[in-house]
């Protein structure tokens, strides 16, 4: 049956409105009858309509991970929801309205609500527009500042990670110059000692025999150095305490030294040992430069993978690569007492995704896990292919777990347990939105001794999710 004036006159919402105003509202609106289970509006969709309950009961629901939580109930005539686009062009429903009984609502288009508001209360419209936009802008600015602060911390950590191998490479190159001078001087001494081609060939063979010898422990190495130093001193080598550490560190022992003495004779023993030691030093420094520059290249590659700056927005994405690059970016934040366990499924396929956005989700989940685990514990990162068409990513920590309140509100907009300036500026609510934009879901599972954040993504990818939603991006 149509809505009558009597349906509105008794509602507290319209106290003070005269019949003429109520008739104008009725003319702008439409009665909508509903049955139990009907969904009248959905969370996060544009709030194009204003809904006023006349009869019945409607639950206001919101998805938190995989669970649906009831935020409230419209169970008294006159309670309302939506209509935000009457004063905010970006207004969206904060919850899903699902009927739990049969009933009726008055549905007024947001543009009509705006027109009525402007006609009846022109000052009120700019006031509420200002409040709504200011709240949204302030929250956006706060989140941007949080994100920029987090980016600054990430950049500082990356600079620290890059500085270590860069400084090591610089020190090694400086030392390599000195080692080169020592090699040249040793060659001169060998030439002055009139070493023969046969003797030099044997000398070089003995040097190459040291390659690949197993490294000794600190105590055994110290004993080996003392033995070699004593042997060198007994054989008239003046620089015994200088040469012994280098030779012992490369794997030389007394037996090796005796072979070299037999090959060169007493007059050429010290120049030969000088040449071997200086060559070993140069080789070791070259290896250090190679390792340091490789580390720098790996960090640069991780940054490129993390930021996805050189790749298309939607692409076939290796989740393992994204998780590893994120762990590399956060390496400076991982305490020495925290063990990182990587458990990647070999059968996990690449999925079509917005890789840069997913990396932001991994950053948020890993940062939260590191905060929870503290200075010691275990951080577990795993992937697996779920029977059917989904890939599951889990980030687990051995921290103290979440309280019941935190668990209940973890995915609420703007909810945080961190102080000002802490965190990534990317709350779990936004992480959830990113995951859902990919057609997936995110949830929390608390187990004895472990809290697990689980992300489930369809192998069909983000493009298919957009097609199903009828969206364009």
What is the per-residue pLDDT across 286-314, written as a single tens digit (0 to 9) for each? 888 887 887 777 677 666 655 554 455 67
Which of 56-65, 139-148, 172-181, 201-210 is least confident?
A: 139-148
Polymer length in residues for the chain: 473
With tokens 């990162």, the residue in question is 381
CATH of 5-122, one of 3.40.50.970, 2.40.170.20, 2.60.120.10, 2.60.40.1510: 2.60.120.10
Of 212 and 260, more confident: 260
Q: Output the CA angle 372-151-141, nearest 5 degrees.
A: 100
With tokens 């050429």, the residue in question is 268
What is the C-alpha separation between 2 and 448, in angstroms, rounded?
57
Q: Output the CA angle 406-446-357, nearest 5 degrees.
A: 70
pLDDT bucket at 422, cuts 50 / 70 / 90 = very low
Longest alpha-carbon distance in the chain? 121
Please state the φ and ψ torsions of residue 107, each to the nearest 5 degrees. -110, 120
Written as six digits, the tokens of 456 are: 């489930």
Residue 339 β-bridge partners: 378
Write out the H or E segment, with its range, that includes residue 92: none
Span 433-451, average pLDDT: 87
Alpha helices in 351-450 (DSSP H): 355-373, 404-409, 428-437
**Domain spanning 308-469, CATH class:** alpha beta
Alpha helices in 210-314 (DSSP H): 218-234, 240-249, 254-264, 269-307
From the DSSP assignment, how many helices (H) and strands (E) are in the chain?
14, 15
Please state the φ and ψ torsions of residue 62, each to the nearest 5 degrees. -140, 140
Model confidence at 471: pLDDT above 50: no
Of 263 and 3, more confident: 263
Written as six digits, the tokens of 200 are: 């030099």
What is the per-residue pLDDT across 373-399, written as a single tens digit (0 to 9) for each? 888 999 999 999 987 788 999 999 998
How many C-beta atoms surround the C-beta of residue 191 within 10 A?
11
Cα torsion at 62, 64, 66, 68 (round to 10°)?
Answer: -30
- CB 454 within 8 Å of CB 442: yes
Q: What is residue 333's DSSP assignment? A: G
Q: Are strands 337-344 and 376-386 parallel, antiparallel or unpaired?
A: parallel
Whole-number pLDDT of residue 113: 83
Whole-number pLDDT of residue 426: 47
Domain ranges in the chain with CATH number 2.60.120.10: 5-122
Span 197-207, average pLDDT: 88
Q: Are strands 351-354 and 314-317 parallel, antiparallel or unpaired?
A: antiparallel
Domain ranges in the chain with CATH number 3.30.565.10: 308-469
Written as six digits, the tokens of 215 are: 């490294």
Of 468 and 338, more confident: 338
**24: Cα within 13 Å, side-chain hemisphere:** 14
Of 435 and 417, more confident: 435
């Amino acid at each position: 049956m149509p809505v009558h004036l009597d349906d509105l006159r008794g509602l507290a919402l319209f106290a003070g409105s005269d019949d003429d105003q109520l008739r104008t509202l009725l003319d702008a609106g439409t009665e909508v009858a509903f049955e139990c289970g009907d969904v009248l509006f959905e969370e996060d969709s544009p709030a194009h309509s204003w809904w006023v309950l006349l009869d019945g009961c409607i639950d206001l629901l919101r998805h938190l991970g995989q669970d649906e939580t009831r935020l409230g109930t419209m169970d008294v005539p006159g309670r309302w929801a939506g209509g935000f686009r009457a004063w905010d062009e970006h207004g969206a429903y904060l919850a899903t309205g699902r009927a739990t009984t049969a009933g009726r609502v008055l549905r007024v288009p947001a543009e009509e609500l705006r027109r009525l508001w402007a006609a009846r209360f022109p000052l009120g419209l700019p006031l509420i527009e200002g409040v709504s936009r200011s709240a949204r802008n302030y929250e956006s600015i706060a989140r941007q500042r949080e994100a920029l602060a987090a980016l600054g911390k990430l950049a500082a950590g990356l600079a620290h990670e890059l500085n270590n191998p860069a400084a090591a490479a610089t020190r090694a190159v400086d030392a390599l110059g000195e080692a080169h001078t020592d090699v040249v001087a040793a060659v001169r001494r060998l030439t002055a000692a009139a070493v023969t081609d046969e003797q030099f060939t044997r000398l070089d063979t003995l040097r190459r025999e040291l390659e690949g010898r197993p490294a000794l422990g600190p105590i055994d190495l110290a004993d080996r150095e003392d033995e070699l130093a004593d042997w060198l001193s007994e054989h008239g080598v003046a620089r015994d305490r200088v040469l012994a550490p280098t030779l012992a560190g490369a794997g030389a022992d007394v037996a090796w030294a005796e072979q070299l003495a037999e090959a060169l004779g007493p007059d050429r023993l010290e120049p030969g040992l000088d040449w071997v030691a200086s060559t070993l030093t140069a080789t070791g420094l070259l290896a250090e430069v190679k390792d340091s520059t490789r580390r720098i290249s790996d960090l640069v590659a991780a940054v490129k993978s993390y930021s996805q700056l050189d790749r298309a927005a939607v692409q076939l994405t290796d989740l393992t690569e994204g998780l590893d690059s994120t762990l590399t970016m956060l390496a400076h934040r991982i305490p020495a007492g925290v063990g990182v366990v990587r458990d990647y499924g070999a059968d996990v396929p690449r999925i079509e995704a917005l890789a840069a956005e997913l990396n932001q989700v991994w950053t948020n989940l890993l940062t939260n896990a590191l905060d929870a685990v503290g200075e010691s514990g275990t951080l577990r990162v795993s992937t697996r292919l779920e029977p059917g068409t989904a890939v599951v990513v889990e980030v687990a920590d051995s921290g103290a777990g979440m309280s019941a309140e935190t668990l209940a509100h973890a995915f609420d907009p703007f909810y945080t347990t961190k102080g000002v300036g802490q965190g990534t500026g990317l709350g779990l609510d936004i992480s959830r939105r990113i995951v859902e934009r990919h057609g997936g879901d995110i949830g929390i599972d608390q187990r004895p001794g472990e809290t697990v954040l689980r992300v489930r993504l369809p192998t069909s990818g983000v493009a298919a999710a957009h097609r199903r939603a009828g969206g364009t991006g």
